[in-house]
């Protein structure tokens, strides 16, 4: 079956590993991920002040495109995209004034096909018809973890992995509704479904530093260090993320972290879809492990799964 | 330095603007400090998040203007998720930035990046940090 | 039930009604032209006298009414003033003094219904005139009524054997009345018996409570029923019938001599609820040494099987042959006149606070658990030792406001006692571990009672407890130590504290599962499940449901001095009830006109008080006038007009409407 999928800009360029492993993994679950035609950046930040309505235009445009292609669900893995799309969708559904203004704005939208140069305009109003889901939710609710277990080809050997939620998946609770911000367990359920041992540690929802890695790098270094240290202290051999920015802060900046905090020896950072893809039998070359600054290859050991248990 | 506490039209305008932009009732805050206690960046800040909203309650816009706290907020929403009065402190931070710095002192803009860093950074970081802190 | 019916009503004739319009200072007069109202009604049919006065409820105002009634031989009066909820009784009493039947008084509300909600003077005055005219029409058809009377059963039921229940039972019994005290646990004592020391005196809790417990058990007029639960209740004030379920103890309390041999041989180990799960007991157990009644109880839920085939060890070693596996549940029926609800409280669950670890960390405990640790008869013999490894904690953090004062996620109210008991906990900890560090995280410190603030200052100044103003955001474990993330809002610094143990001041909430009982009793609760008082300021110990009184934390968070005061107050109210020769009930009820009633039974289903029943033999509905509260739902629903409320008949209502809408 085909499913609408919004990768977001970073996945296509800087963290291709997350994109490729996602597609390959979903193929093994008989789901073909289809990107909305001519999609553009979601905006990365949901506008927090009431007046910046223009900030809603970009994400709504994406959702409108999904709707026009006949989709009623769009799945994403990047936490930033998930947060913006979901919150914008809700804002539009709840507030008729915002709905009217964004639709008025988008009515003048012109889409130009990159190949044929054909122009499309005069789109119908978007009224919140599409539902935004994170891939983890999709796996739990639409596919079901038991079905994932059935398709497992490789045994991950109860690898102790720390699930890192970060900020945007869980907060604000009323809008994201993903799980309880202070005692979440969806990500851990996923890890157990693919054959890892989920490590419990207190920093699973603490901020990694986010965009401050650029504007206030020392603050971000410390924040990321605390997350990695906590995961490692509680026995994790890897930490798994769903956000490319968390990946950047925890993986790419790990050298900086090690220099600032000499007691930290290092911890590989993985995308959750890389684990999923590997467990479902996808080739190592397709996991995108080349993107990683902290080598993670050693974690991916060939070990066939025991007989399928339902 | 003695702060003259006034509650005239200028202060009222400032407070109302913050409330309008953020959608939060700043007077619901009873200064428990939980936002500051859980904020991952609080130890770097000169004014704590609860102090920022306290300044707003008192109409002391000039005090807040000088603070570098506003540019240390990572919008992680930990404050929002723990506030016993349901105040979204991240929204108040954004509103204060918006009101006090509409032209943007360009706390962080493209000039601050080296070409190498710009090449390496994930796009979402650039978009986010510019949207939050640039003009 | 012996309800006496009123005398035959007077026939309506040309009435001589007196109208008295009140200014209420400027409350009414600033919007309604009161003189104009009096003037407009002067010649209205039925009205003999029409006048105004500045404050009708004052002594001269009332005297004026009394004098006018006598001089002008009035047989009905209308006071156009404030809401009847305030002064209806006042004017009824005044009328009685003048020799007029109190049910010939009408209160026309031209304040809450007129001057207080309108600003247009002309329109408000016209409205007042309409209101008053409608009441004149009603008054013309009013009949003399006499209150309904019923006997009172001078026995009380007290539900709950904590300090409030014990106090109420003792006071009522000392008055000279019989009391039945029902307690669902195997012993009386409630939560207070679990406490170590009480603020602000640091009295040993068990030392001050056990004398009351003993007094209750020995009192000639108190029937103590422990391990019993109220099953159902029916009837009405002064005349309740209660069914009480006796749970089988499997031990005959009259034979048990507390030798303890059964406990020694019992193989089953159960977390001890008296010690908040910090230690274990056997399936056959005594909750605590001073338990009353002094007997063992066999907990069937954890017993291997209540039969010699499964185990039978306890029975084998019992010299007194007190153990009987064949005991069954029985139901007793009692009749009482008043009920005191003193069912206590529970603490908000730590599971709700995921940011503090939920219930994950052994060394993060709640107030009652810490009381047991502090208690000399507790699991650590009174030494402060932490649950996980029994070590002495050198750094203890106390967190106030856990779950309370949180409008967003938990409970909006202040739990009242936590500031005081936290100060007490910190002090007692410092007394026992002088080189330890006690840190209290607070938002405010509320110390309103007598000697309370001095107590808290003692903790700060003498025992060097560090008070930090800031609400804790997160508690977690790292490297074997508990880390507390807080803030000091006063210095503006974010803080991280390493603690060996944390005590959470969890909010007081309604007793677990109490809704079932309160539903059976049919008494109103507030939105948090606490029993609702009749009026928050003026009637704090009665329920809106006649005959039910409340005491202690069943009503809301409070400390021991308040609970005891409330219990004594409730007992005094019960005394008021019992002191009356007979109970009087408002006669403005809805009787049934047998001739018109077709026995359709619609009114029976409408009645919220269960006052109406269909008599199968007569084929008509009968009313228990004592239960009828005069709400009028049946009168509205009755298709044949057989249900007419006294002094508010359909005819009267239609006359009122016509007067209001005319012209």
CB contacts of B78 in chain C (<8 Å) are 473
Residue whose C-alpha is closest to residue A280's, from A198, A199, A190: A190
* Mean pLDDT value across chain C: 94
Decide if B2 is inside a domain: no
Q: Which residues of chain C, if any, have pLDDT below 70? A: 1-13, 663
- Could you say which of C354, C358, C478 has the minimum Cβ distance to residue A230? C478
Whether residue A111 has pLDDT greater than 90: no
Among chain C residues, CA nearest to A227? C478
Asked if C354 and A233 come within 8 Å (Cβ–Cβ), the reply is no
Q: Please tell me the predicted confidence (pLDDT) of residue C205.
A: 96
Decide if C2 is inside a domain: no
Interface test with A, best of B124, B130, B132, B134 (most A CBs within 10 A): B124
CB contacts of A212 in chain B (<8 Å) are 41, 72, 74, 129
Torsion of CA C579, C581, C587, C592, to 10 degrees: 120
Percent above pLDDT 90 for chain A:
80
Q: Are residues B42 and B89 in the same domain?
A: yes
Q: Are residues B68 and B43 in the same domain?
A: yes
What is the maximum span of chain C, computed from C-alpha positions, in angstroms? 94
Residue whose C-alpha is closest to residue A156's, from A24, A274, A310, A293: A274
Read off the CATH number of the domain in which C16 is found. Answer: 3.40.50
Read off the CATH number of the domain in which C206 is found. Answer: 3.50.50.60
Q: b/e per residue, A85-107, with b = 16+ CB within 10 A?
A: bbbbbbbbeeeeebbebbbeebe
What's the residue count for chain A?
Answer: 310
- The residues pairing with A104 across neighbouring beta strands, listed in sequence order, are none
Last residue of a domain, one of C105, C121, C148: C148
Q: Are residues C80 and C65 in the same domain?
A: yes
In angstroms, rounded to a whole number, what is the distance separating the alpha carbons of residues A173 and B109? 31
Q: Are residues C380 and C473 in the same domain?
A: yes
CB contacts of B88 in chain C (<8 Å) are none
The two structure tokens encoding residue C32: 């309604």
Decide if B4 is inside a domain: no
Task: Please give, rounded to a whole number of angstroms, the shortest distance from the CA of C355 to a CA of chain A.
Answer: 5
Which residues of A fall below an 8 Å CB-CB distance to C? 180-183, 202, 230, 233
Q: Please tell me the predicted confidence (pLDDT) of residue B65.
A: 79
Asked if A41 and B88 come within 8 Å (Cβ–Cβ), the reply is no
The tally of domains found in chain B comes to 2
Per-residue pLDDT of C37-79, as tens digits, reads: 999 999 998 999 999 999 999 999 999 999 999 999 999 999 9
Q: Please tell me the predicted confidence (pLDDT) of residue C235.
A: 87
Count the Cβ atoms, other than its own, within 10 Å of residue C550: 30
Per-residue pLDDT of A245-271, as tens digits, reads: 999 999 999 999 999 999 999 999 999
CA of residue A160 relative to chain centroid, distance:
21
Asked if B74 and A171 come within 8 Å (Cβ–Cβ), the reply is no
Neighbours of chain C (3+ CB pairs under 8 A): A, B
DSSP-derived letter for residue C247 is P
Last residue of a domain, one of C579, C598, C619: C579
Asked if B108 and A215 come within 8 Å (Cβ–Cβ), the reply is yes
CB contacts of C358 in chain A (<8 Å) are 183
Task: Please give, rounded to a whole number of angstroms, the shortest distance from the CA of C354 to a CA of chain A.
Answer: 5
Last residue of a domain, one of C509, C542, C569: C509
Segment B54-65 mean pLDDT = 89
Domain range holding C452? 346-509
Q: Please tell me the predicted confidence (pLDDT) of residue C6.
A: 44
CB C370, CB C379: distance < 8 Å: no
Decide if B70 is inside a domain: yes
C662 or A135, which is more confident: A135
Q: Is C565 exposed, middle or buried (0-12, 13-18, 19+ CB in 10 A)?
A: middle
Asked if C354 and A230 come within 8 Å (Cβ–Cβ), the reply is no
Question: Chain C window 492-521: which residues touch B at a Cβ cutoff of 8 Å?
Answer: 492-495
In angstroms, rounded to a whole number, what is the distance separating the alpha carbons of residues C545 and A209? 59
Decide if C114 is inside a domain: yes
CA of residue B116 relative to chain centroid, distance:
30
Per-residue pLDDT of B102-122, as tens digits, reads: 655 667 777 888 888 888 898
Among chain A residues, CA nearest to C476? A202
Decide if C662 is inside a domain: no
- Could you say which of B32, B42, B43 has the minimum Cβ distance to residue C471? B32
Asked if B33 and C489 come within 8 Å (Cβ–Cβ), the reply is yes
Q: Please tell me the predicted confidence (pLDDT) of residue C4.
A: 38
The two structure tokens encoding residue C459: 């903790």
Q: Please tell me the predicted confidence (pLDDT) of residue C626.
A: 84
Asked if C489 and B82 come within 8 Å (Cβ–Cβ), the reply is no
Interface test with A, best of C475, C476, C479, C482 (most A CBs within 10 A): C476
Q: Are residues B84 and B21 in the same domain?
A: yes
In angstroms, rounded to a whole number, what is the distance separating the alpha carbons of residues C146 and C68? 23
- Could you say which of A182, A230, A233 has the minimum Cβ distance to residue C355? A182
Q: Could you give the 3-state DSSP secondary structure of residue B2?
A: coil
Neighbours of chain B (3+ CB pairs under 8 A): A, C
The pairing of strands C155-159 and C178-183 is parallel
Q: Please tell me the predicted confidence (pLDDT) of residue B103.
A: 58
Per-residue pLDDT of A197-252, as tens digits, reads: 999 999 999 999 999 999 999 999 999 999 999 999 999 999 999 999 999 999 99
Q: Are residues C137 and C161 in the same domain?
A: no
DSSP-derived letter for residue C381 is T
Asked if B36 and C489 come within 8 Å (Cβ–Cβ), the reply is yes
Asked if A183 and C474 come within 8 Å (Cβ–Cβ), the reply is no
Decide if C224 is inside a domain: yes
Q: Are residues C352 and C491 in the same domain?
A: yes
Residue whose C-alpha is closest to residue B124's, from A110, A114, C275, A77: A77
Q: Please tell me the predicted confidence (pLDDT) of residue C437.
A: 96
Q: Please tell me the predicted confidence (pLDDT) of residue C584.
A: 87
In angstroms, rounded to a whole number, what is the distance separating the alpha carbons of residues C304 and C308? 10
- The residues pairing with C179 across neighbouring beta strands, listed in sequence order, are C156, C222
Domain range holding B126? 104-135
Per-residue pLDDT of C280-324, as tens digits, reads: 999 999 999 999 999 999 999 999 988 888 899 999 999 999 999
Q: Are residues C370 and C487 in the same domain?
A: yes
Read off the CATH number of the domain in which B49 is found. Answer: 1.10.1060.10
Domains of chain A: 2-132 (1.20.1050), 153-299 (3.40.50.11810)
B69 CB within 8 Å of a chain C CB: no
CB contacts of A248 in chain B (<8 Å) are 121-122, 125
CB contacts of C474 in chain A (<8 Å) are 202
Residue C107 has φ and ψ, to the nearest 5°, of -105, 120
CB B84, CB C471: distance < 8 Å: yes
The tally of domains found in chain C comes to 3
Asked if A248 and B125 come within 8 Å (Cβ–Cβ), the reply is yes
CA of residue C511 relative to chain centroid, distance:
12
Q: Are residues B109 and B79 in the same domain?
A: no
Decide if C94 is inside a domain: yes
Decide if B47 is inside a domain: yes
- Could you say which of B20, B95, B123 has the minimum Cβ distance to residue A10? B123
Q: Please tell me the predicted confidence (pLDDT) of residue A308.
A: 56
The continuous run of DSSP H or E covering A92 comes out as: helix A79-94
Q: Please tell me the predicted confidence (pLDDT) of residue C10.
A: 39
Q: Are residues B95 and B109 in the same domain?
A: no
User: What ipTM describes this predicted complex?
Assistant: 0.90
Q: Are residues C380 and C471 in the same domain?
A: yes
In angstroms, rounded to a whole number, what is the distance separating the alpha carbons of residues C445 and C470? 12
């Amino acid at each position: 079956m085909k499913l609408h999928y919004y990768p977001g800009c970073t996945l296509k360029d800087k963290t291709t590993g997350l994109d490729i492993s996602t597609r390959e993994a979903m193929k093994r679950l008989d789901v073909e991920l289809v990107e909305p035609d001519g999609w553009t950046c979601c905006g990365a930040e949901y506008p927090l002040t009431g007046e910046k309505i223009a900030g809603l235009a970009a994400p709504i445009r994406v959702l409108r495109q999904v709707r026009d292609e006949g989709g009623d669900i769009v799945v994403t893995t990047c936490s930033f995209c998930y947060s913006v799309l979901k919150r914008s969708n809700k804002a539009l559904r709840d507030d008729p004034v915002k709905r009217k203004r964004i639709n008025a704005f988008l009515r003048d939208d012109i889409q130009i096909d990159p190949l044929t140069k054909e122009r499309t305009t005069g789109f119908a109003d978007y009224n919140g018809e599409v539902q935004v889901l994170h891939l983890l939710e999709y796996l739990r609710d639409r596919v079901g973890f038991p079905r994932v277990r059935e398709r497992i080809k490789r045994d991950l050997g109860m690898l102790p992995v720390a699930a890192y939620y970060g900020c945007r998946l869980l907060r604000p609770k009323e809008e994201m509704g993903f799980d309880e911000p202070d005692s979440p367990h969806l990500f851990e359920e996923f890890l157990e479904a693919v054959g890892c041992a989920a490590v419990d540690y207190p920093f699973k929802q603490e901020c990694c530093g986010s965009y401050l890695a650029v504007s206030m790098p020392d603050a971000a270094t410390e924040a990321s260090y605390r997350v990695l240290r906590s995961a490692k202290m509680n026995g994790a051999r890897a930490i798994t993320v769903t956000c490319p920015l968390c990946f950047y802060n925890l993986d790419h900046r790990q050298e900086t972290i090690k220099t600032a905090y000499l007691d930290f020896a290092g911890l590989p950072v993985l995308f959750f879809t890389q684990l999923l893809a590997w467990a479902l039998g996808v080739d190592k070359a397709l996991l995108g492990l080349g993107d990683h600054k902290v080598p993670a290859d050693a974690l991916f050991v060939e070990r066939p799964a025991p007989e399928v248990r339902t | 330095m003695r702060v003259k506490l006034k509650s005239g039209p200028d202060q009222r305008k400032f407070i109302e603007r913050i409330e309008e932009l953020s959608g939060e009732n700043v007077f619901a805050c009873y200064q428990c400090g939980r936002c500051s206690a859980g904020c991952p960046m609080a130890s770097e800040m000169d004014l704590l998040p609860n102090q920022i909203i306290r300044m707003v309650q008192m109409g002391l816009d000039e005090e807040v203007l000088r603070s570098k706290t506003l540019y240390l907020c990572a919008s992680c929403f930990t404050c929002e998720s723990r506030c016993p009065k349901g105040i979204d402190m991240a929204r108040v931070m954004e509103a204060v930035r918006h009101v006090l710095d509409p032209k943007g002192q360009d706390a962080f803009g493209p000039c601050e990046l080296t070409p190498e860093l710009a090449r390496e950074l994930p796009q979402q970081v650039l978009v986010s940090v510019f949207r939050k802190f640039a003009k | 039930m012996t309800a006496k019916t009123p005398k035959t009503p007077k026939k309506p004739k040309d009435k001589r009604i007196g109208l008295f319009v009140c200014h209420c200072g400027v409350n009414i007069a600033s919007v309604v032209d009161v003189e104009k109202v009096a003037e407009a009604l002067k010649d209205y049919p039925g009205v003999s006298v029409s006048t105004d006065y500045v404050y009708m409820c004052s002594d001269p105002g009332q005297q004026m009414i009394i004098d006018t009634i006598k001089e002008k031989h009035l047989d009905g009066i209308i006071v156009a003033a404030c809401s009847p909820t305030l002064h209806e009784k006042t004017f009824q009493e005044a009328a009685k003094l003048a020799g007029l039947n109190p049910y010939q008084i009408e209160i026309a509300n031209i304040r809450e219904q007129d001057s207080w909600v309108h600003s247009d003077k002309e329109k408000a005055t016209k409205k007042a005139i309409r209101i008053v005219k409608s009441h004149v029409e009603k008054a013309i058809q009013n009949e003399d009524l006499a209150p309904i009377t019923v006997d009172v059963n001078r026995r009380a039921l007290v539900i709950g054997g904590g300090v409030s229940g014990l106090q109420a039972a003792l006071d009522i019994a000392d008055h000279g009345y019989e009391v039945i005290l029902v307690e669902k646990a195997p012993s009386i004592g409630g939560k207070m018996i679990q406490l170590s020391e009480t603020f602000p005196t640091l009295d040993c809790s068990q030392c001050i409570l056990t004398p009351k417990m003993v007094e209750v058990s020995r009192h000639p007029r108190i029937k103590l029923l422990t391990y019993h639960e109220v099953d159902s209740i029916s009837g009405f004030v002064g005349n309740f019938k209660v069914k009480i379920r006796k749970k089988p103890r499997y031990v005959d309390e009259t034979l048990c001599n507390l030798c303890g041999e059964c406990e020694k041989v019992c193989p089953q180990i159960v977390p001890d609820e008296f010690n908040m799960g910090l230690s274990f007991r056997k399936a056959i157990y005594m909750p605590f040494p001073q338990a009353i009644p002094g007997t063992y109880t066999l907990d069937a839920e954890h017993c291997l099987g209540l039969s010699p085939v499964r185990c039978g060890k306890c029975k084998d070693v019992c010299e007194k042959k007190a153990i009987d596996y064949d005991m069954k549940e029985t139901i007793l029926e009692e009749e009482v006149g008043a009920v005191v609800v003193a069912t206590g409280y529970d603490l908000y669950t730590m599971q709700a606070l995921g940011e503090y670890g939920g219930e994950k960390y052994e060394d993060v405990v709640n107030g009652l658990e810490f009381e047991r640790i502090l208690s000399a008869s507790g699991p650590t013999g009174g030494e402060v030792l932490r649950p996980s490894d029994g070590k002495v904690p050198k750094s203890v953090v106390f967190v106030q406001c856990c779950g309370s004062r949180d409008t967003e996620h938990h409970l909006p109210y202040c739990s009242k006692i936590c500031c005081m008991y936290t100060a007490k906990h910190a002090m007692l900890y410092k007394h026992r571990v002088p080189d330890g560090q006690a840190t209290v995280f607070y938002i405010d410190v509320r110390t309103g009672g007598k000697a309370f603030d001095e107590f808290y200052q003692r903790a700060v100044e003498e025992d060097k407890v560090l008070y930090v103003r800031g609400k804790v955001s997160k508690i977690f474990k790292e490297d074997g130590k508990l880390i507390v993330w807080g803030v000091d809002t006063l210095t503006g610094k974010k803080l991280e504290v390493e603690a060996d143990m944390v005590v959470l001041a969890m909010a007081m909430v309604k007793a677990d599962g109490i809704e079932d009982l309160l539903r059976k009793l049919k008494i109103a609760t507030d939105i948090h499940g606490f029993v609702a008082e009749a009026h928050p300021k003026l009637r704090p110990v009665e329920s809106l449901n006649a005959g039910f009184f409340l005491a202690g934390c069943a009503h809301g968070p409070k400390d021991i001095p308040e609970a005891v005061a409330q219990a004594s107050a409730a007992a005094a109210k019960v005394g008021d009830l019992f002191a009356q020769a007979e109970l009087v009930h408002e006669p403005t009820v809805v009787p049934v006109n047998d001739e018109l009633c077709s026995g359709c039974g619609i009114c029976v289903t409408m009645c919220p008080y269960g006052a109406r029943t269909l008599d199968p033999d007569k084929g008509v509905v009968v009313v228990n006038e004592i239960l009828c509260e005069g709400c009028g739902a049946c009168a509205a629903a009755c298709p044949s007009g057989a249900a007419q409320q006294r002094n508010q008949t359909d005819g009267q209502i239609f006359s009122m409407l016509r007067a209001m809408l005319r012209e």
